[in-house]
């Protein structure tokens, strides 16, 4: 008898799960906590036999259900999820369904920041070496859409996984798993930072090789992992095979595999120490799966980075403008500041603002005092940002009503050889659809192009 599935959350991942399970002849119930969703009529046409429920959902939806498939963004404390646990129902996500089906080697990457850059670079190296690769998960394509109905699989899968996805993916058995970094984020979801770290580390369960960041003890795997590889800013004294590191000389920075100089950072199109570490992580993964070194170097030299991730917008009148709208948490902004600070010491104008997600901004104080000449703040939680910073920073912190006002203020304050770093350290949904929308608005404002600055009024 076919299992009956309740799919809770009809965003991209939920719809991919519905399509996949329909192909498996499963009995489906579809639900979403939103009262209105886009494409409802099309959904009814595609799933004529499935009940579709929206808004205030009754616990009776679980009656007769064998498996609850939850969206990554849905809180595990939602009444339906809590009731499913009480009834001892199986609770999984779309990535779990993927792992139960996929047979090609999986490369699984998580971390508070840098996930998208690293998985994109790994996928490029694999493709450049002549192998087929499926890239998805938390980046762009839902994992289930990587599965071919003809059962023809790529040579490798590369998955970016969020902590939310790892909560509901017990069957992950990756060829290589990596935790790139862990800094406080989503503290409105987790009971503690330790709980968040523990969730991230679930990616190491049953993996063949674990890759961690020596600069961040929260990424170090437990003793249950058979083989470990690491990367970091300094050379390792451990007996690990081929630790990856950086070497700084008076004139250049080099990427190292063990004691071997692989290439000079000046040969890269991306800049900043944080990006050099991303390159090391990608190299380490690709060495494990057998991608030739010469291919890796060529891929590194060609890679220009991703939009909204420490992206150079323009150099105008001697001032460099950087769009790091993907910096949706304090850890991301710390990495960006540290990465650019050595080049632009005391010449950075930093823009922060948005929705804090209950984060504290005091960890930024040390690097602000070291590298920043002025902080500009906007958005829903601007008062919190100012309260966290003003007692510790030694530069001006000014608040503005909108991103447009902030950009105008930055333009007035910037001088020759300054850098304006838009790394908000906050979520975007107070004023924008998402971080991409926010970044596009920033770029248009910098370049003087017409833009629709926001879709929401502040505070709504």
pLDDT in tens, 300-310: 999 988 889 88
Residue 383 has pLDDT above 90, yes or no: yes
Q: What is the pLDDT of residues 432-449, one digit of tens each?
A: 999 999 999 999 999 997
pLDDT at residue number 353 = 97
Residues forming a β-bridge with 349: 374, 420
pLDDT at residue number 71 = 92
pLDDT at residue number 235 = 84
pLDDT band for position 241 (50/70/90)? Answer: low
186 is annotated as an active-site residue = yes
- Altogether, the residues listed in the chain come to a count of 460
Compute the mean pLDDT over every residue in the chain, rounded to the nearest whole number.
Answer: 91
Provide the CATH number for the domain formed by 96-302 in this structure: 3.40.1190.10
Q: Name the active-site residue from 186, 308, 374, 443.
A: 186
> Which of 170-179, 272-281, 401-410 is predicted least confidently?
272-281
Residue 361 has pLDDT above 50, yes or no: yes
Tell me which residue of 199, 182, 93 sits closest to 138, measured CA to CA. Answer: 93
Residue 218 has pLDDT above 50, yes or no: yes
Q: Name the active-site residue from 113, 124, 138, 205.
A: 138
pLDDT band for position 64 (50/70/90)? Answer: very high
Residue 315 has pLDDT above 50, yes or no: yes
Residues forming a β-bridge with 60: none
Residue 16 has pLDDT above 60, yes or no: yes
> Which of 115-124, 244-253, 341-350, 431-440 is predicted least confidently?
341-350
Q: How many CA atoms lie within 13 A of 414 on its CB side?
A: 27
Three-class HEC string of 152-212 = CCCCEEEEECCHHHHCCCCCCCCCEEEECCCCCCCCCCCCCHHHHHHHHHHHHCCCCEEEE
pLDDT at residue number 187 = 67
3 is annotated as an active-site residue = no
pLDDT band for position 171 (50/70/90)? Answer: very high
Q: Where in the chain is the domain with CATH 3.40.50.720?
A: 4-92
- What is the CATH topology of the domain spanning 4-92? Rossmann fold (3.40.50)
Q: Where in the chain is the domain with CATH 3.40.1190.10?
A: 96-302
pLDDT at residue number 236 = 79
Residue 152 has pLDDT above 60, yes or no: yes
Long-range contacts of 140-144 (CB under 8 A, 24+ apart): 142/12, 142/13, 142/16, 142/17, 142/94, 143/13, 143/16, 143/94, 143/95, 143/98, 144/13, 144/16, 144/17, 144/19, 144/20, 144/94, 144/97, 144/98
Whole-model pTM: value is 0.83
pLDDT at residue number 95 = 97
| Residue bearing the bigger pLDDT, 277 or 345 | 277
pLDDT at residue number 1 = 57
pLDDT at residue number 307 = 86
pLDDT at residue number 239 = 53
* CATH number for domain 311-447, candidates 3.90.190.20, 3.30.429.10, 3.90.1410.10, 2.60.120.640: 3.90.190.20
Q: CA of 67: how far to CAs of 23, 28, 64, in Å?
A: 16, 10, 10
| Residue bearing the bigger pLDDT, 42 or 130 | 130
pLDDT at residue number 296 = 98
């Amino acid at each position: 008898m076919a299992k009956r599935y309740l799919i809770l959350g009809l965003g991209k991942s939920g719809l991919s799960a519905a399509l996949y399970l329909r192909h498996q002849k499963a009995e489906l119930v579809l639900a979403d906590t939103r009262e209105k969703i886009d494409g409802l009529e099309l959904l009814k046409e595609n799933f004529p036999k499935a009940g579709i429920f929206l808004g205030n959902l009754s616990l009776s939806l679980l009656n007769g259900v064998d498996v609850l498939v939850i969206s990554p963004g849905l809180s595990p404390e939602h009444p339906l999820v809590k009731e499913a646990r009480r009834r001892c129902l199986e609770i999984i996500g779309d990535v779990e369904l993927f792992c139960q089906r996929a047979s090609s080697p999986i490369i699984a990457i998580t971390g508070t920041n840098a996930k998208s850059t690293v998985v994109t670079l790994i996928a490029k190296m694999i493709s450049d070496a002549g192998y087929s690769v499926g890239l998805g998960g938390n980046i762009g394509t839902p994992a289930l859409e990587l599965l071919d109905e003809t059962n023809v699989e790529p040579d490798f899968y590369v998955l970016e996984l969020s902590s939310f996805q790892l909560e509901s993916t017990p069957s992950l058995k990756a060829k290589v798993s990596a935790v790139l970094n862990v800094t406080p984020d989503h503290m409105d979801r987790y009971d503690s930072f330790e709980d968040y770290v523990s969730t991230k580390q679930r990616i190491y369960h049953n993996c063949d090789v674990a890759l961690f960041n020596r600069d961040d003890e929260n990424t170090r795997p437990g003793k249950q992992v058979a083989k470990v590889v690491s990367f970091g800013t300094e050379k390792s004294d451990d007996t690990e095979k081929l630790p990856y590191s950086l070497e700084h000389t008076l004139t250049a920075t080099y990427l190292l595999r063990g004691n071997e100089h692989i290439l000079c950072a000046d040969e890269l199109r991306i800049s900043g120490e944080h990006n050099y570490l991303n390159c090391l992580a990608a190299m380490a993964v690709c060495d494990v799966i057998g991608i030739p070194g010469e291919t890796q170097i060529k891929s590194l030299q060609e890679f220009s980075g991703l939009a909204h991730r420490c992206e150079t917008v323009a150099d105008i009148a001697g001032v460099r403008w950087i769009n790091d709208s993907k910096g949706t948490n304090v850890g991301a902004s710390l990495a960006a500041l540290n990465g650019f600070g050595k080049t632009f010491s005391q010449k950075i104008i930093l823009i922060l603002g948005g929705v804090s997600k209950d984060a504290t901004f005091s960890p930024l104080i040390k690097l602000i005092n070291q590298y920043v000449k002025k902080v500009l703040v906007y958005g829903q939680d601007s008062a919190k940002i100012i309260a966290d910073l003003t007692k510790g920073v030694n530069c001006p912190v000014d608040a503005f009503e909108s991103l447009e006002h902030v950009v105008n203020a930055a333009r007035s304050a910037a001088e020759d050889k300054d850098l304006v770093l838009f790394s908000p350290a906050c979520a975007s949904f107070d004023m924008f659809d998402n971080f991409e929308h926010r970044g596009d608005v920033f770029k248009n404002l910098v370049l003087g192009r017409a833009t629709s600055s926001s879709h929401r009024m502040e505070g709504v």
